[in-house]
Chain A
Amino acid sequence: MTATIVAQQAINGIVLGSLYVLVALGLTLIYGVLVQINFAHADFVTLGAFAAYFFMHVLGGSYLASIGAALVVGAVLGWAINVTIFAPLRRKGSELLPLIATIGVSTIMQNAMLSLFGPVPYAFETPYSQKVFRVAGTFFTLQSVIIIAVSTVTIALLYAFMKFTFLGKALRAVSQDRETAGLMGINPNYLIMLTFILASALAGMGGAMLAPVLVLTPFAGTTVIVKAFAIVIIGGFGNVEGTILAGLLVGLIESFTTQYLDPGLIDIVVFGLLLLMLAFRPTGLVSERREENV
């Protein structure tokens, strides 16, 4: 019985964790290339969720297609924030100004969504949440199978892209040393744009898949993004493997805290872990070169 509960919570944790990984990977990619944080990433998640909602419930599209729609919305937003905020401020060379500007963009987006969609939560129902499988005493919904499949494929594609394609290698080169990469004939501006589009598409997608489990309001992304920040730091800023590991870990912490402690303690446990990591091992689970911020 206990073994079944543990197995069930492990499944729940991994499903949730893989969604956190999608959102956190975007932050990690941007940090790796630009050493910048995008606070509006939260609202890309929210807008992705709303895009999927309207695509499905108003336009009558299928759920899988709505994930694609959210991905496109995310990608467009990523392009837009790079053009309007990060590209102009990059020339000024300040570390904190872009971060503060993205807080501004985030406030704009949240309140714009608030006046458009209202504060009442939207009920996001997918046809797959009702289909339940039973395997050895544990329950899966078809929805969670889709989440695992889509996020695993996405993360694997991203990983392969970073490791094996020329563009991916160029991207890693830029994140290691932007100037030298420039000397090798890589155009950093083009790659930075690519990173933003990729990262934000992941956020939009994550939003579409998180929507059925979130309380879908204009502020939904904020609760996800603070966890994503914790994940990025626990995993080691800018480190892809660490982010994947930490994302799954936070998903598991969340499901086991709900089972054995109290759902209200989730954020306290996650951020307690974050502060402990920052105090004792600020380079993250998988440590890497970047230490100038510590």
Chain B
Amino acid sequence: MSDAAATRQAYRSSPRRYAFLAAALAIAVLPMVLTGNYWQTNLTVCAINVLLALGLDFILGYAGQLNLGQSAFYGLGAYVSTLLITKLGVPFWGAFAAGVAFAGLAGMILALFAVRLRGHYLAIASLGFAVIIHQILLNWISLTQGPLGIYAIPPPPAIAIPGLPVIDFRNPVALFYLVAGFALLTYFILDQLVRSPIGETLTAIREDDISASSLGINAAAWKVFAFGVGAAVGGAAGCFYATFVGTLVPDAFFITESFTILSMVIVGGMGTLIGPVWGAILLTLLPELLRGIGDLRLVVYGVALTLVVLFMPGGLVQAAQLIRSKLTGAR
């Protein structure tokens, strides 16, 4: 009782709480500063990519499982929720829950391979899984309409609370608030998770799963858990993507998408939660700022990824720490 109260007290006064408030404030203010359709679209893309990166980071950075199948969970979330809405008329939030659950389940199935395989084998198994899902989306034409795609996906229904103005998600700003708010909530939950004993358990498995097992940790079960959570977050991003873009084609979930998400996590700094957030934002906005150089702008993903691995494996987070220690050291 007093312990819990002390924790709550510590949390209230911790800089973490102010960071969350600052992030919420930034989300609230950004669409007012960056007005216009172009920037508001980019803001929502950023929020979706943040979700994708957070999901992968939980599997890769915390549980240490090299998953190259994040594009599959993204695609499953998008297609399952959309098909439930357009074919069966399921309400948006029901379809959203189903899409998230389905992606999470798919992650747990892939985790059954992760339990037996590691390193390169897992990388290729998860890549193979992503290829299979992409090919199913492409070839199951009676269900997904294959390469023709699905069009006119409706936005989430408007929320009308008596006494408040109606929130209509056809308004891009409202949709941004929804996705970014969900990303912030996800960050909050994952932050609680990784700082709980569960986070320590996952880290122990990442560092050495045999030693972890010898301490009585059920490494297999925790890997399944990590894959389930990370894939479900990816699935949520997929649901938002479908309703945001309004059209779905299988090639949006080609395996190269997995590489893009991986770049965001690595460039930001894997094994931290804040790193992938900045990585996702940077790698979403940077190519937009470089539109002037044509297709060559997409090279920045590869350049950023390669340079970070070679010279700063901790990513932006490591760079920030380095700068901070230089500054305080000089003082």
Contacts and interface: CB of A to CB of B under 8 A. Distances in A.
A112 B299 contact: yes
A96 interface: yes
Contacts of A127: none
B68 to A, nearest CB: 8
B264 interface: no
A112 B304 CA distance: 14
Interface stretch (B39-47, B91-99, B128-136, B162-170): B128-136
Nearest to B260: A107
A115 interface: yes
Contacts of A237: 120-121
Interface string A14-55: 000000000000000001000111000000000000000000
A44 to B, nearest CB: 15
A108 B116 CA distance: 33
Q: Interface residue tally of chain B, by bracket?
A: 35 or more
A115 B300 CA distance: 13
A50 B29 CA distance: 49
A80 to B, nearest CB: 13
Interface in B265-306: 266, 294-296, 298-299, 301-306
B27 interface: no
B35 interface: no
Contact of B259 (A88, A103, A272, A275): A103
Interface in B74-132: 112-113, 116-121, 123-125, 127-129, 131-132
Nearest to B313: A97
Interface string A60-103: 00000000000000000000000001001100101111111101
Contact of A37 (B120, B125, B132, B307): B120
Interface centre among A99, A101, A110, A222 (most CB of B within 10 A): A101
Contact of B309 (A35, A37, A97): A97
B305 A229 contact: no
A272 B255 CA distance: 16
Interface in A97-148: 97-101, 103-112, 114-115
Contacts of B259: 103, 106-107
A103 B305 contact: yes
A258 B260 CA distance: 32
Contacts of B255: 222, 226
A233 B136 CA distance: 22
Contacts of B119: 95-96, 293
Contacts of B307: 104
A282 B304 CA distance: 34
A230 B132 CA distance: 12
A170 B266 CA distance: 36
B120 to A, nearest CB: 5
B319 interface: no
B303 A104 contact: yes
The 6 closest A-B pairs by CB, nearest first: A107-B302, A104-B305, A108-B302, A104-B306, A264-B139, A115-B295
23 contacts: A35-B120, A36-B120, A97-B309, A107-B259, A107-B263, A108-B303, A108-B306, A109-B302, A111-B296, A114-B295, A115-B294, A222-B255, A226-B127, A226-B131, A233-B124, A237-B120, A268-B132, A271-B132, A274-B125, A274-B128, A282-B121, A294-B116, A294-B117
Given A230-B124, A294-B117, 9 more contacts: A88-B310, A94-B313, A99-B120, A101-B305, A104-B301, A115-B295, A219-B256, A229-B127, A279-B113
Interface of A: 31, 35-37, 85, 88-89, 92, 94-101, 103-112, 114-115, 219, 222, 226, 229-230, 233, 237, 262, 264-265, 267-268, 271-272, 274-275, 278-279, 282, 293-294
